[in-house]
A = this chain, B = another copy of it.
Amino acid sequence: MTILARLLSPDDPTPRYAQIGDGLRKQITEGLLPAGTRLPASRALAQDLGVARSTVVTAYDQLVAEGYLEAIQRAGMFVCDIAPISPLNAPPPARSTRAIPQAGLLAPGAPDPDIFPVQPWARCVARVARNTPSALVHQNDPFGDPELRREIAAYAGRWRGITATADQVMVTSGASAGLELVMELLVSDGHLALEAPGYVPTQRFAKSRNWQVNWMPVGSQGTALPLQPSKVTVLTPSHQFPLGGSLPVPVRQAFLQAAADCDGWIIEDDFDSEFRYAGQPVPAMAALDRDGRCIYVGTFSKTFSHALRLGYLILPAGLVSRFRTALTHPGSSAPVTAQRPLAEFMASGQYDRHIRRARRLYAQRYGTAADALQCWPAEMGYFQRHEAGMQIAFHLPPSQSDQALSAAARSAGFAIRPFSDNHPQGSTQGLLIGFCQSQPELISGQMEVLRNVLESCKDSDN
């Protein structure tokens, strides 16, 4: 078959199972290997290519896991019916021919776009277009649409135990814009306490402002309260990013007390708290806050869509006028078009319904991924079953380089990331493994391929 000529290149440093997999994938997506084509048996192809049979098996397994090939018992390996992947003219993929996630497989923190309730959302948009079209265009309040702020306040009460009014809510252009605004306004002495490991954009922002960072190590008990607290502290208490634990309530209270004692502030970055799969949700720090020291940062990127570019702040009442004064632009800084439709979507109960559905689906996928990880050999590493969030933090033994392992995984089509990136000194080695975008029946297969890739990486190319 002419396909063979293009599958391997001796000068290419990419592992051969990856070259073969890439080459076949390309030919399938370009239509050179149409649906229903029967591929050579692994032994035959291996012989033709001059490689070990296991190399071809790994490549074939990868493409089965991705949905390009299917093995039909006693008949052979066949090319699946795949929709062409072309952003310009692709209809939304049917469930059986899911387009491969653009970011790669097992992408940490990536929500499943296919479960987004497109029709109910479109109906909310159409309703606003029909009844209050000016709400699609004008938003004179710098804090954003009042209806949306009312819904967010109600939502925060229902889901996070926070008591707040619409006046305390500010809609922002994604959560990061909100987080940056808060840090900008509150850091007055050039000092800031951040988690290590933590969230890279926050670390970069502090660095770009030349602030002195008080690094708080994250251990098995969560983030450590510093002996000398800073006036401004950023935490991810619900589901520490990236290591995943929930900050125990006594520690939350200790942080809040320390802030009250020094007239300081806690910035609570609560980005995927809805996705807890077992146990009771712990109330947000903003719900425990008696002294008005806690600023809550929320986002719609994980529960709804990153593409919406909407997040929000819930400010203690004492900070509201200070933030209003600081906003120089007369209108909302957050994009206006989706605000009122989102308010309607939330008011109708659709948003809560969607979150509960997503939580069920993600719980199932989390369970499958965690079960698979528990079968990995102990020498590969370990993880804790936090039963929450949109990624699993898999810790590696000190002898392993998470950078090398994740690079190998990326060339095999995985989007997993090393979490030494999240630590200022690069300590805490491990891999962030997602699962939300994968069909549950494919997760075990994908985890198997990942495991093989990681184990192969430790040895030389086969």
Contact = CB atoms under 8 A, between A and B. Distances in A.
Contacts of A113: 137-138
Given A102-B330, A306-B331, 18 more contacts: A87-B141, A103-B330, A113-B138, A118-B136, A118-B137, A119-B133, A121-B137, A122-B133, A125-B125, A125-B337, A126-B130, A129-B129, A137-B305, A138-B305, A138-B307, A306-B329, A335-B338, A337-B338
A307 B330 contact: no
Interface in A275-311: 305-310
Contacts of A133: 118-119, 121-122, 125
Nearest to A139: B307
A118 B122 CA distance: 19
B334 A146 contact: no
A139 B336 CA distance: 18
Contacts of A139: 307
Contacts of A129: 122-123, 125-126, 129
A219 interface: no
A75 interface: no
A334 B309 contact: yes
Q: How large is the interface on A (under 10, 10 to 19, 20 to 34, 35 or more residues)?
A: 35 or more
A140 interface: yes
Interface of A: 87-88, 92, 101-103, 113, 116, 118-119, 121-123, 125-126, 129-130, 133-134, 136-141, 146, 173, 208-209, 305-310, 329-338, 341
Contacts of A134: 92, 118
Contact of A308 (B122, B330, B337): B337
B329 A87 contact: no
A17 to B, nearest CB: 25
A140 B130 CA distance: 28
- Residue from A146, A329, A335, A338 with most neighbouring chain B CB atoms (10 Å): A335
Contacts of A118: 133-134, 136-137
Contacts of A173: 173, 309, 335
Sorted from nearest, which 5 A-B pairs have the closest CB atoms?
A: A122-B133, A307-B336, A335-B335, A309-B335, A126-B129
Contacts of A119: 133
23 contacts: A88-B146, A116-B138, A118-B133, A121-B133, A121-B137, A122-B129, A123-B129, A125-B125, A125-B133, A126-B130, A137-B305, A137-B307, A138-B305, A138-B307, A305-B336, A306-B331, A307-B335, A308-B337, A309-B333, A309-B335, A310-B335, A335-B335, A337-B341
Nearest to A89: B146
A40 to B, nearest CB: 33
B116 A122 contact: no
A138 B91 CA distance: 12
Contacts of A87: 140-141, 146
Nearest to A304: B137
- Residue from A119, A130, A307, A335 with most neighbouring chain B CB atoms (10 Å): A307
Contacts of A102: 140, 330-331
Nearest to A334: B309
- Residue from A125, A126, A334, A337 with most neighbouring chain B CB atoms (10 Å): A337
A257 to B, nearest CB: 35
A121 B128 CA distance: 12
Contacts of A341: 337
A37 to B, nearest CB: 27
A88 to B, nearest CB: 5
A335 B334 CA distance: 9
A102 B130 CA distance: 26
A136 B125 contact: yes
A123 B136 CA distance: 11
Contacts of A141: 87
Contacts of A130: 122, 126
A136 B121 contact: yes
A413 to B, nearest CB: 14
Contacts of A338: 335, 337
Contact of A137 (B116, B332, B335): B116
A209 B146 CA distance: 36
